[in-house]
Structure 1
């Protein structure tokens, strides 16, 4: 915030100097130029957003130029920035964008619960929906539930309003997917167990702008997948063609034949997938790998978390010759077949290999020379020792995952401190040039 205040002070002083200059030279009329170029304003606001508890809202009130530059930052991901106390104000703004038919329909559905959505005859000159770039279903659900609490005013327990909350979310999703023409990141997660997404096939054509622009898609389900979600996957394969980053995290029992079919269809329908992550798939993984083959010239990052690797899937994995980042977390079935790839990896994470130390060392021997970042279970590092660094002479970042399967109190802490000392010795002896060491719990890999 110091830089922000400093720049603001400079702007104010600059404005005063221009004002004094005009008093002295009243005969010379010049068009006032912006105080700072738009690019500089963007950098300032980006910096401010990185500061904890930073607030950009006051910047709206400086002048029109500041307002114009700060609005996109406030509205590109408003659900994640707004507080629970202000959720109602956020959705109240979105309500203004319902057309008359949508407004009447929403109120008719909420009328049995004695809830009325406020309307406004005064429309904003800015279409805030067009600034929306990131949307998380989880954030939207929390925001909608908070708004229902405000409108209903009876209880803070979200389970008290499941029907009302669902009606509001369904209407908002239809509105956002239709009018948010710059939406590029959709996090398809959920917060409340009692909610399900609507059947969008009833509402949307295959040319909906809000879906068409998506370049990053996360599908995160902690509960059983629903038929509406399957239909949404089907819809995505028709509407989305520009997805570059695809992250799929379902429960293992949800990877049924139908889901695998639509996931494969979604993958094949994209122009070029650059990053692919998938979790908890124990069967039919080869079908997913087959669908990814159409992107083998573009794919440079793969993360497999709790995946069963067959010989066939590893052969297909080896076809991705442009792969730069490979993350293998708790994968079963890993064998020497993985050593046949022609990768020039920059980042490699191998986590959970208590039974696979030989594979770990073999992979480091084959792919270690080009590595810049290495991620290991701290127990694997204990076994591999300095041999790992002999194979990885160019790494500058080391990620250690703390995972203690025996749950011995203080055991991992002791090992961590021990390895910090050993790493310091290796750095001093110039055997490795480590500039960054990160420690992560095994439950916080993301």
Structure 2
């Protein structure tokens, strides 16, 4: 009879696959011990379950399963109260576990969407009154049974009637909240409630809507240790919107991560955050070039991660790298420009991760980067008619990559077609194995639905499997491409 792994070993394994919800869910079905260990990790953040983006029936089935499980966890008095108001869940079986108590992340708008689904199943019950009743009972359960919530999501339209003072245990549940995701136009009363209870938010994610509530600036001001801020869709010119930016300056010495996505704002205010370690700018707006002009001469002495997915003037970016490139560990650039790549080689010698693009006539530039950036561990390759071909890229990588290099990301997007044959791929693996390297290779294929990547050749896949079995390849993974996915 095979021996059972102890619970602490299983817990460590399942923690490692926490983000792979589908695999974690499968672990529930192995046996009771596996179920008891995995269920706590699975339900820690049930809201980021991958529903299957292109298969709506599956998505609905998962959502229905989650809300039905939460309803089964409702205490007897809640079910009786709902029954009296015309919502009959009295005959639902009690759940095997108290799933709600495992949650450390709560999505209020997620609950609202699930409630709409389940009430629609009851046909006659579709009123906002019934939806509010069920929402209140579920939130009350969370506030009572979750000992310490870590993350809260709430967006406009879902917070108007929530009064945490009416929920026993709400202050204890929310007191240690470290992440808050919200829209700017939430009712001010909701922001005021959070301001009174939560003072230790470290990550604040704001999606700007048509308006900005008065309470948002107060919420920001009430925090003691804000470290990470994400601003999305900022285009408002309201006084409250400007007040939010001014209030953020209170954290000029503590803020270490700043991400700005699809926002049209002057960027000079970023210069106040001189202790930034990570800066991400993402926009499809060409005006971003002019905004970045305000930052090109600013010094960020602790900056380690720089990610740009926006349109910038190359000369301005090169100037920024000249000033701030020495301490960078990770650099992600949208542009494809030989002068910029040469500037990376010159000004960013301590990089470990580099995302850029090499045009077909730039093999010497790639060699220069690999020679100058001796700490490089990870680089990307883009397949396409404009870029270096696979054979040339792999040959240069084998002969010039630093000793610590181990991770290669190969992008096949926009109808790219692999032209790498099995013999050439095998030569790469053989040559890689005999190089003076400290680490085994990790090969990541990132592709869209229109492209043909190297592993779709059956012979190539057999070569990959063979060298994985021989221990030449540590990790092989295929991932779907999403535009600017690397910014998250």
Q: Residues 309 and 484 of structure 2 are in contact (CA less than 8 Å); yes or no, is this contact kept in structure 1?
A: no
Gaps of 5+ in 1: 1-11, 16-34, 155-159, 403-411
- The reply on whether 1:78 has 2:39 as its aligned counterpart is no
Pick aligned residue for 1:179 from 141, 145, 165: 145
Residue of structure 2 equivalent to 1:8: none
Q: Say yes or no: does 1:368 pair with 2:325.
A: yes
The answer to whether residue 71 in structure 2 is matched with residue 95 in structure 1 is: yes
State the 1:294 CA deviation. Answer: 3.7
Distance, in Å, in 2 between the alignment partners of 1:128 and 1:443 is 35
Could you tell me how far apart the structure 1 residues matched to 2:110 and 2:80 are?
25
1:13 aligned to 2:2?
A: yes
> Structure 1 residues 420 and 334 mapped into 2: Cα distance closer, same or farther (>3 Å)?
farther
Q: CA RMSD in A?
A: 3.9
- Contact kept, 8 Å, 1:279 with 1:304, in 2: the verdict is yes
Q: How does 1:340-379 map to 2 (within 5 A)?
A: 340-354=298-312, 356-379=313-336
Task: Choose from 93, 107, 111 the match for 2:83.
Answer: 107
Contact 1:401–1:442, Cα closer than 8 Å, also in 2: no
* Residue 160 of structure 2 is aligned to residue 188 of structure 1: no
- Which of 26, 34, 37 aligns to 1:69? It is 37
Q: Are residue 269 (structure 1) and residue 231 (structure 2) matched? A: no
Matches within 5 A, 1:244-263: 244-251=202-209, 253-255=210-212, 259=213, 261-263=214-216
CA distance change for structure 1 residues 423 and 125 in 2, over 3 Å: closer, same or farther? closer
Does the aligned pair in 2 maintain the 1:242–1:272 contact within 8 Å?
A: yes
Corresponding residue for 2:387?
A: 417
Q: CA deviation at 1:293?
A: 3.7
Aligned counterparts of 1:85 and 1:153: Cα–Cα separation in 2: 21
> Secondary structure in 2 aligned to 1:341?
coil
Matched residues in 2 for 1:185 and 1:76: separation? 10
Paired position in structure 2 for 1:145: 116
Question: How far did residue 218 of structure 1 move?
Answer: 1.6
CA distance in 2, matches of 1:69, 1:441: 33
User: Paired residue for 2:231?
Assistant: 278
Query: 1:262 and 1:209 mapped to 2: Cα distance?
Result: 22
Which stretches in structure 2 are left out of the alignment for 5+ residues? 52-58, 359-381, 412-480
Counterpart of 1:211 in structure 2 is 174
What's the counterpart of residue 134 of structure 1? Answer: 105
Deviations 1:335-366 (A, max 9, x none): 35553324222111233234x22221111111
Q: Distance in 1 between matches of 2:335 and 2:391?
A: 14
TM-score, scaled relative to structure 1: 0.69
The C-alpha deviation readout for 1:128-168, integer Å capped at 9, x for no partner, is: 322111223454234323322443399xxxxx776654543
How many angstroms apart in 2 are the aligned matches of 1:312 and 1:418? Answer: 37
Q: Judging by fraction of residues, say which structure has more helix.
A: 1
Q: 8 Å contact 2:63–2:114 — kept in the other structure?
A: yes
Q: Hey, what does 1:405 align to over in structure 2?
A: none
Q: Which residue of 1 aligns with 2:362?
A: none
Q: Which residue matches 2:89?
A: 117
Q: 1:169 aligns with which of 135, 141, 145?
A: 135
How do 1:386-405 and structure 2 match up within 5 A?
386-400=342-356
Note if 1:326 corresponds to 2:282: no
- How many Å separate the matches in 2 of 1:344 and 1:371? 8
Distance 1:420 1:344, change over 3 A: farther
Task: Say which SS state the counterpart of residue 331 (structure 2) adopts.
Answer: strand
Give the whole-Å Cα distance in 2 for the aligned partners of 1:438 and 1:250: 35
In the aligned structure 2, how far is the partner of 1:401 from the partner of 1:60? 44
Contact 1:289 1:316 (C-alpha < 8 Å) held by counterparts: no
SS of residue matched to 1:236: helix
SS of the residue corresponding to residue 152 of structure 1 reads coil
Secondary structure class of the residue paired with 1:262: helix
Q: CA deviation at 1:254?
A: 2.2
Aligned residue for 1:208, secondary structure, equals: helix
| Equivalent residues, number | 376
Deviations 1:376-401 (A, max 9, x none): 1234x356242233222222322359
User: Whose RCO is larger (CA < 8 A, sep 6+)?
Assistant: 1
What is the rounded CA distance, in whole Å, between the counterparts of 2:78 and 2:161 in structure 1?
Answer: 17
Cα distance in structure 1, aligned partners of 2:21 and 2:139 = 29
Cα offset, 1:278, TM superposition = 0.7
Measure, in 2, the Cα distance between the counterparts of 1:80 and 1:105. Answer: 30
Q: CA distance change for structure 1 residues 429 and 60 in 2, over 3 Å: closer, same or farther?
A: closer
Deviations along 1:179-227, one digit per CA (max 9) or x if unpaired, are 322321223358xxxx633422375479533322321122258xxx353
